[in-house]
């Protein structure tokens, strides 16, 4: 605005500040700074004194007019009052530097620095701050399919919140509103989440609970706190869905007497399969593994091992999975559903063959002349 007269503007500004500082303290801090709850904040109050002026005491008052710091500016300073959350950084030549260690919601407003000067009396400056809330969460979550899970977000200034809204964003970028609620009692749940998702209606600690987690629930969820006058504050929590493995074991005895043992497990993420064969020299080579991705996002892993004849006892399939506290062990001697079906079918075929033989004998071979 000053253009070529910029040096003159600076000179005039210096005269103005000098004139002001002779009558009151000058607070060196941004105009109405906005500070997030939990962050530190520095204040600096400077005063220009005249010849013969003596500073007897410096005081700092919080927005509630409570003294948070009072001291006599000596070397070192003699402190008579000090709030545990306020620290004196430096005090020399009419300058008082303090730090609020952790800004709290009640710190919103104007802080006053007061210089008690002899013979002029009190001279004062002030700085006003706006405190905003902070959104926090407990980190990303992993849930087990079929089990309930809860996602939560915290906002440090619930009294400023008018509405809380949750959105779901899939890996493909598709966004859906899960639900919302307001401080006036209104609540809304999206059609696709009805009877399966609940919201707790807390304006500061918002919790979204999914009663029975499904594979399609795997996504990132945004919690939005609509506040006044600070606007919208949000955070993102991502949910991973795991499917626990259900091992399936079976075996077949080959004509040579060799036993072909199979163990499979379908899960998400994929499981790892090992064998405990109960001793040495009981297998004919290492296990053979195969893996197939399913359309629902799970993976089926199969392990096949050849056992020597008569080595069926004490053989176990061991399934490892990141969501399990300990591996699953399934004895091979437990007949699997597939083996039961095979035995039933074999029995039925045998009965049919016997019946067929009886009929043939009666009709053609075993008839009397």
318 and 257 part of one domain:
yes
Q: What range defines the domain where residue 209 resides?
A: 135-242
- Number of domain units in the chain: 3
Task: Let me know if residue 352 belongs to a domain.
Answer: no
pLDDT at 242: 97
Burial of 231 (0-12, 13-18, 19+ CB in 10 A): exposed
230 and 252 part of one domain:
no
Of 242, 271, 293, the one marking the end of a domain is 242
Task: Let me know if residue 103 belongs to a domain.
Answer: yes
pLDDT at 218: 96
Of 187, 210, 242, the one marking the end of a domain is 242
Q: What span, in angstroms and rounded, lies between the C-alpha atoms of 196 and 198? A: 7
Task: Let me know if residue 354 belongs to a domain.
Answer: no
Q: How many CA atoms lie within 13 A of 360 on its CB side?
A: 6
Task: Let me know if residue 127 belongs to a domain.
Answer: yes
Task: Let me know if residue 343 belongs to a domain.
Answer: no
pLDDT at 350: 54
Task: Let me know if residue 303 belongs to a domain.
Answer: yes
Task: Let me know if residue 122 belongs to a domain.
Answer: yes
pLDDT at 282: 85
Residue 238: give its domain's CATH number: 2.60.40.10
pLDDT at 290: 95
pLDDT at 193: 94
pTM: 0.70
Task: Let me know if residue 364 belongs to a domain.
Answer: no
Query: Any alpha helices (H) in the chain, and if so which ranges?
Result: 6-21, 337-360
230 and 295 part of one domain:
no
Note whether 133 and 156 are within 8 A (CB).
yes
pLDDT at 18: 38
Note whether 201 and 181 are within 8 A (CB).
yes
Q: How many CA atoms lie within 13 A of 79 on its CB side?
A: 17
| Tens digit of pLDDT at every position of the chain (369 positions) | 444 443 333 333 333 333 433 444 454 555 668 899 999 998 888 887 777 888 899 999 999 999 999 999 888 889 999 999 999 998 877 889 999 999 999 999 999 999 998 888 888 888 889 999 989 998 899 999 999 999 999 999 999 999 999 999 999 999 999 999 999 989 999 999 999 999 999 999 999 999 999 999 999 999 999 999 889 999 999 999 999 999 999 999 999 899 999 999 999 999 999 999 887 888 888 999 999 999 989 999 999 999 988 778 889 999 999 999 999 999 987 654 344 444 444 544 555 666 565 555 555 555 544
């Amino acid at each position: 605005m000053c253009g070529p007269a910029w040096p003159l503007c600076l000179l005039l500004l210096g005269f103005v500040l000098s004139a002001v500082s002779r009558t009151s303290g000058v607070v060196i801090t941004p105009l109405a700074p906005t500070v997030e709850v939990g962050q530190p904040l520095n204040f600096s109050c400077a005063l220009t004194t005249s010849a013969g002026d003596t500073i007897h005491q410096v005081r700092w008052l919080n927005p509630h007019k409570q003294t948070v710091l009072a001291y006599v500016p000596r070397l070192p300073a003699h402190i008579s009052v000090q709030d545990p959350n306020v620290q004196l950084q430096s005090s020399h030549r009419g300058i008082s530097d303090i730090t609020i260690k952790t800004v709290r919601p009640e710190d919103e407003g104007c802080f006053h620095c007061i210089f008690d000067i002899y013979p002029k009396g009190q001279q004062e400056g002030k700085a006003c701050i706006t405190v905003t809330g902070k959104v926090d969460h407990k980190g990303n979550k992993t849930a087990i399919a079929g089990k309930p899970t809860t996602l939560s977000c915290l906002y440090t200034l619930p009294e400023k919140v008018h509405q809380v809204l949750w959105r779901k964003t899939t890996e493909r970028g598709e966004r859906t509103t899960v639900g919302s609620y307001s401080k006036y009692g209104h609540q809304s749940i999206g059609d696709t989440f009805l009877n399966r998702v609940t919201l707790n209606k807390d304006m500061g600690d918002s919790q979204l609970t999914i009663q029975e987690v499904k594979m399609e629930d795997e996504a990132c969820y945004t919690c939005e706190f609509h506040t006044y006058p600070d606007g919208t504050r949000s955070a993102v929590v991502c949910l991973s869905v795991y499917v626990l493995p259900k091992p399936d074991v079976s075996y077949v005895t080959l004509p040579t007497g060799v036993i072909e043992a199979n163990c499979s497990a379908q899960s998400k993420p994929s499981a790892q399969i090992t064998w405990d064969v109960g001793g040495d020299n009981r297998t004919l080579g290492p296990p053979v593994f195969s893996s197939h991705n399913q359309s629902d996002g799970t993976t089926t892993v199969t392990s096949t091992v050849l056992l020597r004849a008569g080595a069926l006892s004490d053989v176990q399939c061991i399934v490892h999975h990141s969501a399990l506290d300990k591996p699953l062990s399934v004895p091979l001697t437990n007949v699997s559903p597939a083996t039961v079906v095979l035995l039933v079918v074999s029995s039925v075929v045998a009965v049919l063959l016997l019946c067929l033989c009886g009929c043939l004998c009666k009709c053609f071979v075993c008839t009397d002349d």
